[in-house]
Structure 1
Amino acid sequence: MQALLVFLSIAALSLLASSRALDPGRFPALARLAASGFLFVLLGIFLGPSVAGVLTERHLEAMRPVMALGLGTAGVLLGLNLEPRLLRLLPRSVYLSGLAHSGTAFFFVALPLLVPLVFTSARGLLGAVGAAAMLGAAASLSSGHSAVLAWRAGRLDRARGLGVALLTMLDDAVGLGVLALALIIGAASNVGEGLGLVCLALLLGVMCGALLAFLTHSLKDLAELTTVTLGGVVLVSGAAAYLRVSPLLAGVACGATLAVVGGRTSERVARALGRVERPVFLVLVFLVGCAVHARDYWAWVLMPAFVGLRFLGKMLGAGSRGGWRSRRSCCHPGWATR
């Protein structure tokens, strides 16, 4: 009964977010909050164990496979966003620009927040360093996935879409690399065990990506392609949850493998997976809200600090890209459109 109430609440909020009642012209701020999924986070906090208690800790533990599915879906989409053919054409200055943009946000978040985490973390210095690195990795990521899809579909101006897509790819690559490093440091009792867990997640993702590329290579029907794609995402997410490794990293390895060996099939898989991306994302952010401890005052202090430091780091990182703009004349005029 409680699970039914939760899913009915999510469905009602989804209908409200897509209805004309939230007209962006009349309520721009509320419409923007609904589109970003923040209302679902608030609903999760309200129904979670720390406020209304509709969902208890036992219910959240039973929902771990759903959380793993959401993280695996996000990981596969991130991996598919990496365009190996395009990344190979980039000059070194572009990589340095992307590293400066995302690396600045990482250091602006990780270093200042490390100090309070050392004093409040129950896992000691190693756990605090891992938590700070994870927050820095989250800060370095960009939310340009919709622009990548629009660029692939031709709905966005080629120059602008290509620029946003490149920036997103480079930010995602840096952020995921830092996330893997943070998991190596803080996901296990020692660094060697953490490295083994990360390698296991990547190996699992590569195997599932190769299998998915083989299964979808000759499929022409969209319904069959969508079904097989969802099955592959469920496989990599479920296997990662069973082995207690990161579903996000396993999904990234799966999507990147499919992007490398899948050829044109990877684009059709990305479009098929885009059909279920929004519902999975909303359920995922709802579960994230349920896991928030509303009575943990340190978390409420940490949240605005994270947002402010990330914004400052992104702005300064974007300013540091001015050197690349002044050096772009050294690139071949058609390097980005080949």
Structure 2
Amino acid sequence: MPDALILVLVVAASYLAARVAFEWLARRFVIVSGAEYLLLGILLGPQLSGILSRDTVESFAPIATLSLGWIGALIGARLVLPRLVRTPAVLYRVALVESLLTVAFVGALLAAALWLGFEVTRGEAIIAATALGAVAVASATAGVAVVARQLGRRSPVVRQLEVSTAANAVVAVVTSGILLTIVHRPPPMAVRPLTPTEWAVITIAIGVVGGALFHLFLGEEHKVDRLFVSLGGAIILVSGAATYLRLSPLLAAVCFGAVLVNTTRNRAEIVAALERVERPLYFALLVLAGAAWRPSVRDWSLVLLLFLLTRVAAKIGAARLAARWNGMLPTLGSDWGRGLLGQGGLALAVALTYLYQENVPLPNLVFTAAVASVLLTDVMSARLVRSLLHVDFVTPARDAEG
């Protein structure tokens, strides 16, 4: 049986199983599904079983690019200006301070560790550490969503976590996108190499132009099926163009999604079309990311452990400082940052965009750190959020037993 067919069958069977198990696990045990697909990809990949060869994994790069673009478009689609304006400004201040402190702390500490522990230049250490900082700041939204559904209301902590996870996503995407413009290698025949600022403008322009063209031709379309097909084509165009230019498909797609939902009157249908295949593309990305993983050729164990510990300390410490500086510590509590420890697909997406770049320092180390962090934190993200609220969720089955 061809390797490609094996991968398709495995992903299809896994998704069908998840359709049955995902909601039940979330309700019964407050567990978020996802990490098992990453582990499945690692087991199927060339590093372990070898069922999927490296050539087969590379042949599925367009699917990975589509998944990256779809994740970015969903992040941008949640940046609806009227909704953002109604959110209290203090929530944004807390979220942004926490996000920036996390990137700065993780990036600075890892840059020093990489420079001292690896045979790399100072510039290479800063580049790899910045990528690790972008990975570290990303937080999973699924755990917060599961707890919010079970709680049935928006407590101040849950509301802050929702705003913070959104801010984390934007900061992670922007940080990684700017990093790729800085390390971008100019074409060999270029008359004048473009500056990082010009590459950043090009990245944003790809998304803005894509969103404007979509709105021009299909902005008033209300049929979800037609919107879904059109969105798929537009996201492929936007993310493919950014990938071809060695830029960030995530940042371009975020701009695309933000322009789209803020220039149309049928944003509900557009968001519904985007969410329609969010989960299968997310699971496919996890499987492909796991299959693409390969260990670093360097001794990465100590740096990996340092990254995991630094991220935990940075998230909790930065969240506490941000709440204290904005007078929100009595409302949120000193440990509300634990709700941001879970990581999901966005962390892998950021690491994957870095892995796909040419001539970047320590790409396998950055990707391995993201894989390890997701495997360790994704399953427990909802329970970490629940522990902050001091609520014992009682399932229907337990009600019946009582």
TM-score by length of 1: 0.80
- Conserved in 1, the CA contact under 8 Å of 2:73 and 2:256? yes
Distance 1:256 1:24, change over 3 A: closer
> Offset of 1:50 from its aligned partner?
1.9
Structure 1, gaps ≥5 residues long: 330-338
- 1:336 corresponds to which residue? none
- 1:283 corresponds to which residue? 284
- 1:335 corresponds to which residue? none
- 1:257 corresponds to which residue? 259
- 2:199 corresponds to which residue? 197
- 2:102 corresponds to which residue? 105
- Conserved in 2, the CA contact under 8 Å of 1:213 and 1:265? no
- Conserved in 1, the CA contact under 8 Å of 2:177 and 2:250? no
| Percent sequence identity over aligned pairs | 28
Q: Does 1:236 align with 2:226?
A: no
Deviations 1:191-222 (A, max 9, x none): 95544433222111111111122233221222
- Conserved in 2, the CA contact under 8 Å of 1:50 and 1:295? no
Code of the residue aligned with 2:199 in structure 1: it is: L
Q: Note the aligned Cα RMSD (angstroms).
A: 3.6
Alpha-carbon distance in 1 for matches of 2:16, 2:185: 41
Alpha-carbon distance in 1 for matches of 2:178, 2:22: 44
Distance 1:178 1:26, change over 3 A: closer
What is the 5 A alignment of 1:32-47? 32=31, 35-47=32-44
- 2:131 corresponds to which residue? 134
Distance 1:253 1:121, change over 3 A: farther
TM-score by length of 2: 0.69
- 1:267 corresponds to which residue? 268
- Conserved in 1, the CA contact under 8 Å of 2:95 and 2:160? no
Alpha-carbon distance in 2 for matches of 1:257, 1:123: 40
Code of the residue aligned with 2:273 in structure 1: it is: A
- Conserved in 2, the CA contact under 8 Å of 1:131 and 1:182? no
- 2:48 corresponds to which residue? 51
Structure 2, gaps ≥5 residues long: 188-192, 332-402
> Offset of 1:103 from its aligned partner?
1.8
> Offset of 1:59 from its aligned partner?
2.3
- 1:179 corresponds to which residue? 176
Code of the residue aligned with 2:223 in structure 1: it is: D
Deviations 1:77-125 (A, max 9, x none): 1111213234345666444322221122212321222234336778743
What is the 5 A alignment of 1:185-224? 185-188=182-185, 193-224=195-226
Q: Secondary structure at the match of 2:48?
A: coil
Code of the residue aligned with 1:85 in structure 2: it is: P
Distance 1:15 1:323, change over 3 A: same
> Offset of 1:297 from its aligned partner?
6.3
Q: Secondary structure at the match of 1:218?
A: coil
Q: Secondary structure at the match of 1:24?
A: helix
Distance 1:25 1:181, change over 3 A: closer
Q: Secondary structure at the match of 2:293?
A: coil
> Offset of 1:236 from its aligned partner?
1.4
- Conserved in 1, the CA contact under 8 Å of 2:44 and 2:51? yes
> Offset of 1:173 from its aligned partner?
2.9
Code of the residue aligned with 1:11 in structure 2: it is: A
Code of the residue aligned with 2:247 in structure 1: it is: V
- Conserved in 2, the CA contact under 8 Å of 1:145 and 1:168? no
- 1:13 corresponds to which residue? 14
- 2:4 corresponds to which residue? 3
Distance 1:80 1:304, change over 3 A: farther
Distance 1:15 1:202, change over 3 A: same
Alpha-carbon distance in 2 for matches of 1:36, 1:304: 24
Distance 1:257 1:22, change over 3 A: closer
